[in-house]
């Protein structure tokens, strides 16, 4: 066995080990990292699957009732929910691990494709090294998203397409090809459709070229095969989109998200196909420079095309060119999506990596060439890790704390609101981050809502009757502080500042309870005065931990500045306190409240905490 035959598998194994480390090390990170909007949208549907069971018209409860505004068919979300439910794995972990398993599983159909095409055996290890070290897959391959599932189904379809193209036209093979093409279209049509169209054209051309002129190239069998393979996956995908459009139309706000209304967004414009940004930022920076070694990879690909053409290696050249076409076509079919979203390239970068792997394998037949290609593969892998460390690793390693808005707001809502209650949110577009972290249904008012004040004046129009118990507004696009405080005053709700946002919640009353006095572990950290619309508020923030009953995470904190009227506070995360006391992140130790009062700042606030049913209470002394 030559050095190259030993080196390439060893490098692939090391690269694989690196992906395992990153996937497991950061598996528990909540889906609030890059593109939290999309990750949380996927995660919240998986959460409600795990909570309420399977629904074809599944819930994405962020745009009000009715809660069903489905997009892709929820194959990935169902798998994540099943892992969470039956293996008792936290949802954040199962979402990322399932995504990662689909990523790694992509090398299985890739291995068959390489063998079926009779490429150099080292091509598989070269591909594995370049694919698994690619920054876009190293990061997005463990995200809480459907990308790797759709990519896996697409590759499996290509496997059976190759079988068909080689003459295996049994019903079993045709059936699997249609099955995986359909699964890919349902999971994410923008991933599968470009590949499906290219293979359909290849199939048609191959069928024509392989038949003799005197024979009927459109025989009944060939015609039925081509018709089924071309139309069934698209027809099923179209039927699913039609079904989801009907459900979205039932939601007053979700009606804006039907396929017809999103058509321009998905397909983009003709001008975007010629936009320099598509070529410089997307194709060059994000794809070639970021994942294929830049000039190094592009030069080898160009040299390979010329060399393979001159050496009459037409088969391997056609394989590489077909793969390049699969990698480039999505940019021109869905230009806007690729310009706007940096994760969208995970649908097609694999095919460009495959083409580069074919080129490297092509030059690895000779002993000298194999040594040079070992060095080349290593150089690209190193380049990938350098790009990953600069562009992706900081986001992957990010720890979310009480200073991070979406994390703090979500945990504050979850801790303060009883289960089953619902909230309205402003200043977060229609992102699912608040609702997912809160594990509560919401109307998260999109920025394009014509009149932002309507939901507050008529919440039962958007939420389930009698379930509205909180509203949160974040600058700069949320409602004004005056609007939220006025709303709280009109409803006799309590208000609080949380992570730069203003929150109003239905109060909990402290009645007919005689608290016992106890020295508590906690503090009053902040006491400031706020005047809004002629009303004085005392803004009080601090932390409190009931070490005597650490399992009771649902205790209620009451605050008073005049010694008589106690107001229930919003409990908020305090990462600094948790770190100091060595508590888990699930312990919400902070509190915050805005109390309308005429009492000045010289008054000493008093703190009481009580059990969830407010039957027993403790009056705290600190120090």
CA distance 446 to 425: 9
- Per-residue pLDDT of 471-513, as tens digits, reads 999 999 999 999 999 999 999 999 999 999 999 999 998 888 8
Is the confidence at residue 103, as pLDDT, over 80? yes
Lowest mean pLDDT, pick from 282-286, 305-309, 449-453: 305-309
- Per-residue pLDDT of 370-379, as tens digits, reads 899 999 999 9
Per the model's pLDDT, the better-predicted residue between 204 and 461 turns out to be: 461
Q: pLDDT band at 426, cuts 50/70/90?
A: very high
User: What three-state secondary structure class fits 524?
Assistant: strand
Peptide bond connecting 476 to the previous residue in cis, omega within 30 degrees of 0: yes
pLDDT at 219: 63
End-to-end distance of the chain based on CA atoms, in angstroms?
73
Residue with tokens 């009062």: 597
CA distance 388 to 365: 31
- Per-residue pLDDT of 550-562, as tens digits, reads 555 778 999 999 8
- Per-residue pLDDT of 262-273, as tens digits, reads 999 999 999 999
Calculate helix-pair angle for 367-391, 349-362, nearest 10 degrees: 150
Assess contact for 241 and 70: CB atoms under 8 A.
no
Per the model's pLDDT, the better-predicted residue between 603 and 51 turns out to be: 51
pLDDT at 213: 39
CA distance 204 to 197: 11
Is the confidence at residue 127, as pLDDT, over 50? yes
Q: Rounded to an integer, what is the distance from CA 154 to the centroid of its chain?
A: 20
Assess contact for 21 and 37: CB atoms under 8 A.
no
Average pLDDT, the chain: 92
- The mean pLDDT value for 593-603 works out to 86
Instruction: Provide the token pair at 171.
Output: 């019903």
Is the confidence at residue 448, as pLDDT, over 70? yes
- Distinct helix (H) and strand (E) counts, the chain: 26, 14
Q: CA angle, corner 379, sides to 378 and 384, nearest 5? A: 95
pLDDT at 360: 93
- The mean pLDDT value for 30-34 works out to 97
CA distance 443 to 126: 48
Burial of 558 (0-12, 13-18, 19+ CB in 10 A): buried
Instruction: Kindly calculate the radius of gyration of the chain based on its CA atoms and give it in whole angstroms.
Output: 29
CA distance 286 to 293: 11
- The mean pLDDT value for 516-526 works out to 91
Residue 167 has a CB neighbour count (10 Å cut-off) of 9
pLDDT at 550: 57
Cα–Cα distance list, 81 to 43, 89, 370 (Å): 9, 9, 46
Q: Which residues sit opposite 442 in a β-bridge?
A: 423
- Per-residue pLDDT of 161-173, as tens digits, reads 999 888 888 889 9
User: What three-state secondary structure class fits 291?
Assistant: helix
Instruction: Provide the token pair at 440.
Output: 């509560």
Burial of 255 (0-12, 13-18, 19+ CB in 10 A): middle
CA distance 623 to 606: 13
Peptide bond connecting 66 to the previous residue in cis, omega within 30 degrees of 0: yes
- The mean pLDDT value for 254-283 works out to 94
The structure's pTM equals 0.93
Element (H, E) at 459: none
pLDDT at 601: 84
- The mean pLDDT value for 199-203 works out to 85
């Amino acid at each position: 066995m030559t050095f190259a035959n030993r080196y390439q598998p060893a490098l692939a194994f090391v690269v694989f080990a690196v992906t395992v480390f990153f996937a497991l090390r950061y598996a528990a990170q909540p889906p609030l990292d890059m593109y939290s909007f999309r990750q949380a949208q996927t995660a919240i549907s998986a959460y409600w699957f795990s909570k309420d069971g399977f629904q074809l018209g599944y819930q994405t409860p962020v745009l009000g009732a009715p809660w069903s505004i489905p997009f892709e068919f929820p194959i990935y979300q169902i798998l994540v929910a099943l892992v969470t439910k039956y293996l008792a794995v936290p949802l954040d972990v199962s979402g990322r691990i399932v995504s990662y398993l689909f990523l790694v599983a992509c090398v299985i159909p890739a291995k068959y494709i390489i063998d079926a095409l009779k490429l150099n055996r080292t091509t598989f290890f070269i591909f594995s090294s370049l694919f698994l070290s690619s920054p876009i897959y190293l990061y997005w391959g463990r995200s809480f998203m459907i990308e790797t599932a759709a990519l896996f189904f697409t590759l499996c379809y290509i496997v059976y397409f190759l079988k068909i193209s080689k003459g295996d036209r049994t019903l079993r093979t045709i059936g699997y090809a249609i099955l995986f093409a359909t699964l890919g279209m349902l999971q994410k049509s923008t991933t599968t459709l470009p590949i499906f169209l290219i293979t359909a054209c290849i199939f048609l051309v191959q069928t024509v070229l392989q038949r003799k002129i005197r024979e009927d190239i459109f025989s009944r069998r060939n015609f039925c095969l081509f018709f089924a393979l071309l139309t069934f996956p698209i027809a099923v995908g179209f039927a699913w989109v039609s079904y989801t459009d009907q459900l979205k139309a039932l939601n007053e706000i979700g009606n804006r998200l039907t396929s017809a209304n999103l058509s321009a967004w998905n397909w983009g414009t003709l001008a975007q196909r010629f936009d320099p940004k598509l070529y410089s930022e997307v194709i060059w920076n994000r794809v070639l420079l970021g994942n294929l070694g830049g000039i190094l990879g592009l030069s080898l690909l160009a040299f390979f095309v010329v060399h393979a053409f001159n050496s009459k290696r037409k088969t391997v050249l056609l394989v590489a060119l077909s793969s390049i076409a699969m990698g480039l076509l999505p940019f021109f079919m869905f230009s806007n999506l690729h310009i706007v979203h940096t994760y969208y390239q995970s649908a097609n970068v694999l095919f460009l990596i495959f083409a580069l792997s074919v080129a490297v394998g092509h030059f690895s037949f000779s002993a000298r060439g194999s040594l040079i290609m070992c060095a080349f593969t290593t150089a690209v892998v190193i380049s990938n890790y350098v790009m990953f460390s600069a562009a992706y690793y900081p986001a992957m390693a990010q720890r979310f704390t009480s200073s991070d808005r979406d994390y703090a707001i979500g945990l504050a809502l979850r801790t303060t609101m009883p289960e089953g209650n619902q909230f309205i949110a402003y200043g977060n577009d229609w992102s699912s981050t608040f609702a997912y972290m809160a594990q509560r249904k919401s109307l998260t008012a999109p920025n394009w809502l014509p009149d932002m004040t309507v939901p507050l004046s008529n919440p039962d129009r958007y939420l389930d009757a009698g379930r509205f118990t909180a509203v949160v507004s974040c600058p700069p696009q949320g409602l004004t502080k005056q609007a939220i405080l006025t709303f709280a005053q009109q409803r006799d709700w309590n208000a609080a500042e949380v992570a730069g946002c203003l929150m109003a919640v239905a109060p909990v009353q402290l009645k007919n309870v005689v608290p016992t006095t106890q020295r508590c572990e906690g503090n009053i950290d902040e006491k400031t005065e706020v005047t809004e619309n002629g009303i004085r508020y005392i803004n009080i923030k601090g932390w409190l931990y009931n070490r005597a009953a650490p399992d009771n995470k649902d205790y209620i904190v009451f605050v008073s500045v005049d010694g008589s009227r106690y107001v229930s506070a919003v409990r908020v995360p305090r990462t600094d306190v948790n770190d100091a006391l060595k508590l888990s992140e699930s312990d919400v130790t902070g509190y915050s409240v805005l109390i309308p009062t005429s009492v000045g700042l010289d008054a000493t606030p008093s703190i009481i905490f009580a059990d969830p049913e407010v039957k027993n209470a403790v009056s705290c002394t600190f120090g």
